[in-house]
Copies of this chain bind each other. A is one copy, B any other.
């Protein structure tokens, strides 16, 4: 690791996203999702399952206050520790915990999204609501710092006794991330102080020392959250705790065995367990992404953070192997990960079925977290290519174009009849849902989209890296001097990017622009761009291309304009031949966008279609489904079935007869916005 290659995400306070495409998404979050989520948190949505999140905090607050008042006289009322306590009668609620046992995180993800959103758009009313919510949450905090309502309400004597399943450190992690984000956005530190106090309590209970627990989170996130806490407070103890969790994970004897002796089958003690939690091996020995996909990428994100801050080469090497395993053997072309619904997990290498794909929205979001952290260690365009792919495809597909409904699961092929009738596909919904009982994806989308600029841009003291292209206005401080950078872009529809640099005094700064992997050749100010490994120095400016970035070093005087053009041609893509489901098929892409066919445009029975030998793709800019987008038409062939009517199920093979058709392709992220219908990403080529 070379510290000179490292960078950090820009502060959202120094960048305003002006981009038409991403601003629209951010506004959907700000105007639809955040308010809707607040209503959900307060159980005010008539047509969605109640969250009970704020209610739990209020009840916990009362308990904490009682406990404080009564001191030794306090007698705790206990409730059973079940996964999702629900009221029998919504009109008669008791003073107890309701909802999924990790429901505290609903609030935390919301406050995080609110924080980010406030950096882009001031909103005093929203901020007031947020502050009040923070008051409620902080009132629930116990004097020792503990702040998980599930245990505060149900049984305080049982805290940290089921790390594998009961999500305490998960909720702690989300709370910390939310607290840091809100503080960084508003300067208000009430929640941050609560998070620190909670972290100190966690640190007092976990560690190598005698009497402390050598456990680690069953659902990872605390690792990356503690790093954020470290970076905003400067306190080593938080980095140390994160590293402790990373180092302990998967060591023998297995910590979770002590919590769950029944998991150990007689005669099978030496077998690996807990791959679902990526706790089957010490992390530095892991080279394959396994288990629950969201947990996995959250862990790998934390590992990358710790590696960067501690210079741990072995840890970084593990990150790189895990990254390669995911992106080379376990990732959908849409950036979706986690092929199987069983365990919402990674499947085995190259097992990427299109119709049963799980590809949880949250998992792709976690992949973006992981990608950005690898970029922070070293800007290499392969990470940003994946980040971009996931953002524009498998993640955006998680939200409807109107921001009012969501997909948990993002298949690459959908047959509504199967969604309704085939229990093996019940996890695949044909249309998005308004909310879910245990609703992890919408809030995750909200916090990611609201902070999108911190994925687009990272910086070092005297360098700015541009990983994603979106219209923005940035302030870049280079060694005390300021650069104002205005970027215009029409991604994902057009590849032209304009960067205008302004300065009040000459500023030496490095600007690095990612060259998208999908672009075969680009231009800079009309001239053919440099290629990997080339360097040119002229007129006091050095340009080079390294690891997929066009790097420009110079002193900026102000008034410079950089016009990049990354031409977006329609590209047909194919999968590695070891992906059995994609043999003989191709996918249609253009720039960062992956396309799909829908029944609404092409009729039923999409399986009858194949690409013409020369598909002659045409990209068309148009208004469709209420959006400005580039759609694609290709020439295709439609199989003429031997007989339409009922009759023989199997008959003598005859050379197939096709009719010529024109196929209509829309961006994958825009699918399922016109009711139920078939959808397909990969199409047969019959070649």
Contact = CB atoms under 8 A, between A and B. Distances in A.
Interface of A: 324, 327-329, 331, 333, 340-343, 347-348, 351, 356, 415, 417-418, 421-424, 571-580, 583-584, 586-587, 605, 607-608, 610, 639, 641-643, 646-656, 684-687
A584 B347 contact: no
Contacts of A575: 649-650
Contacts of A584: 584, 610, 656, 684, 686
A647 B327 CA distance: 9
B641 A577 contact: yes
Given A328-B649, A348-B422, A422-B351, A415 B342 contact: no
A357 to B, nearest CB: 12
A574 B653 contact: yes
Contacts of A648: 328, 576
Contacts of A607: 577, 580, 583
A643 B639 CA distance: 31
Contacts of A331: 649
A347 B578 contact: no
A423 B649 contact: no
A647 B422 contact: no
Given A348-B417, A584-B656, 7 more contacts: A328-B648, A351-B421, A571-B652, A572-B652, A573-B651, A575-B650, A586-B653
A449 B563 CA distance: 78
Number of copies of this protein chain within its complex: 2
B356 A424 contact: yes
B576 A605 contact: no
A327 B649 contact: yes
A647 B605 contact: no
Nearest to A684: B584
A612 to B, nearest CB: 13
Contact of A583 (B329, B421, B608): B608
A340 B422 contact: yes
6 contacts: A347-B421, A348-B421, A351-B418, A572-B652, A572-B653, A653-B685
B423 A576 contact: no
Contact of A686 (B340, B415, B686): B686
A586 B656 CA distance: 11
Contact of A587 (B343, B605, B650, B656): B650
A5 to B, nearest CB: 24
A573 B423 contact: no
A328 B653 CA distance: 17
